[in-house]
C-alpha cells in the first residue's frame, strides 16, 4: 500500500524485525545502502532458530558489502548462539533495556518494525518509552493472532443499508447479520479491495461519507487517517441505519 517505505536519504535508520518481517526490510536496507552513501542501517532481527531464519545469506552479503554502514544484531528465541544476543524473545521489557546500549535511540532518523503483532507492538511501546517520536516509527504487521470478536453494541441497528462507491460506480445493499461492510460489498462487487481481512494490511481502506461504524480492530490506519474519516471496511459494522463508504478516495 506504499506506507512502509524509506526513500533513500542520508541518515541513520534501524529496523526491528521478527521472522518473515525481514522480507520488506531486506529490500529497504539494501536499496538505502546502495543508493545513499551517507546512510547507515542497523538491523535487529528476532527468529526462533538459525535454521528457520530467512535470508541469512542475503543479510550476510549486506554485512560484507557495507561493513561500516550496516550493523546486524540477531536474537534467537529458542537457541543459544556463539555471537549475538543471548536467547529469548525480544519483548518490550528486553528491548527497553537493550536498545540504548546498541544505538542512540532518539537520534535515529527512522525506525522500521515488521513482523508478528506481539513483536511490533512490544517494539513500538519500547521505542515510545525511550522517547522516540511516533512519526519516526513505521510499522507493518505480518501476523495477528485471532482474538474473540468484540461483542456487538446493543445500540447497533438491526437493519442497515450500505451505499458504497467503488471504481466510480455506486450501489446500495442491505447489511446482513454480523457481516462486515467489506463482506456486504463483496456479495455484489467482486472488485472490492482486500487482502488480509484482519485489519492489518489497509487494502480495504474507505472513506466514511455518512453514518457511523464500529471497527473491530485497526492495525493499519494511522490516527490521522481515522481522524480524517477513513475506516477499514473489513473491520467495520454499521451503528446507524444508513452508512455510506467511498473506496475511491
Ligand atoms: S483487508 Fe486488510 S485491513 Fe482490511
Each of the 249 residues of the chain gets a pLDDT tens digit; together they read 778 999 999 999 999 999 999 999 999 999 999 999 999 999 999 999 888 899 999 999 999 999 999 999 999 888 877 776 777 788 999 999 999 999 999 999 999 999 998 999 999 999 999 999 999 999 998 876 666 556 666 667 779 999 999 999 999 999 998 899 999 999 999 999 999 898 988 999 999 999 999 999 998 898 889 999 999 999 999 999 999 999 999
Given ligand 1 and candidates 3, 185, 200, 226, which is best to mutate, with the most ligand atoms within 8 Å of its CB?
200
Residues 57 and 133 in one domain: yes
With respect to residue 43, please indicate whether it lies within any of the assigned structural domains. yes
Residues with CB under 6 A from ligand 1: 194-197, 199-204, 220, 232, 234
For residue 232, the ligand 1 atom closest to its alpha carbon is 4
Angstrom distance (rounded) from CA 69 to CA 40:
5
Domain membership of residue 169 (yes or no) is yes
Q: How many A from CA of 63 to the centre of ligand 1?
A: 35
Give the number of domains in the chain. 2
Residue 238's domain comprises: 160-246
- The answer to whether residue 239 is domain-embedded is yes
Question: What's the CA-to-centroid distance between 120 and ligand 1, angstroms?
Answer: 18
> 88 and 173 share a domain?
no
In this structure, the answer to whether residues 136 and 206 fall within a common structural domain is: no
**Cβ partners under 8 Å of residue 69, min gap 6:** 33, 39, 40, 41
- Which residues have a Cβ under 8 Å from the Cβ of 187 and sit 6 or more positions away? 173, 176
**Which ligand 1 atom is the nearest neighbour of the CA of 201?**
2
Query: What's the grid cell of residue 192?
Result: 472490492
Amino acid at each position: 500500500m506504499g506506507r512502509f517505505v524509506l526513500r533513500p536519504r542520508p541518515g541513520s535508520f534501524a529496523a526491528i524485525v521478527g521472522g518473515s518481517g525481514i522480507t520488506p526490510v531486506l529490500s529497504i536496507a539494501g536499496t538505502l545502502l546502495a543508493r545513499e552513501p551517507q546512510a547507515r542501517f542497523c538491523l535487529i532481527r528476532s527468529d526462533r532458530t538459525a535454521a528457520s531464519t530467512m535470508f541469512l545469506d542475503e543479510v550476510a552479503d549486506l554485512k560484507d558489502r557495507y561493513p561500516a554502514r550496516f550493523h546486524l544484531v540477531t536474537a534467537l528465541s529458542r537457541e543459544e548462539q556463539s555471537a549475538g544476543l543471548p536467547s529469548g524473545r525480544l519483548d518490550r521489557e528486553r528491548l527497553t533495556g537493550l536498545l540504548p546500549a546498541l544505538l542512540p535511540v532518539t537520534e535515529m532518523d527512522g525506525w522500521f518494525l515488521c513482523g508478528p503483532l506481539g513483536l511490533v507492538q512490544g517494539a513500538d511501546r519500547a521505542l515510545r518509552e525511550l522517547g522516540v517520536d511516533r512519526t519516526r516509527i513505521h510499522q507493518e504487521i505480518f501476523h495477528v493472532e485471532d482474538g474473540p470478536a468484540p461483542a456487538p453494541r446493543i445500540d447497533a441497528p438491526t437493519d442497515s443499508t450500505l451505499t458504497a462507491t467503488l471504481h466510480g460506480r455506486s450501489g446500495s445493499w442491505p447489511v446482513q447479520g454480523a457481516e462486515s461492510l467489506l463482506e456486504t460489498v463483496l456479495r455484489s462487487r467482486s472488485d472490492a479491495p482486500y487482502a488480509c481481512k484482519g485489519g492489518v494490511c489497509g487494502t480495504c481502506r474507505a472513506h466514511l461519507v455518512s453514518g457511523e461504524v464500529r471497527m473491530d480492530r485497526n492495525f493499519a490506519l494511522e490516527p490521522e487517517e481515522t481522524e480524517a474519516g477513513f475506516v477499514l471496511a473489513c473491520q467495520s459494522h454499521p451503528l446507524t441505519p444508513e452508512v455510506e463508504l467511498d473506496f475511491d478516495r
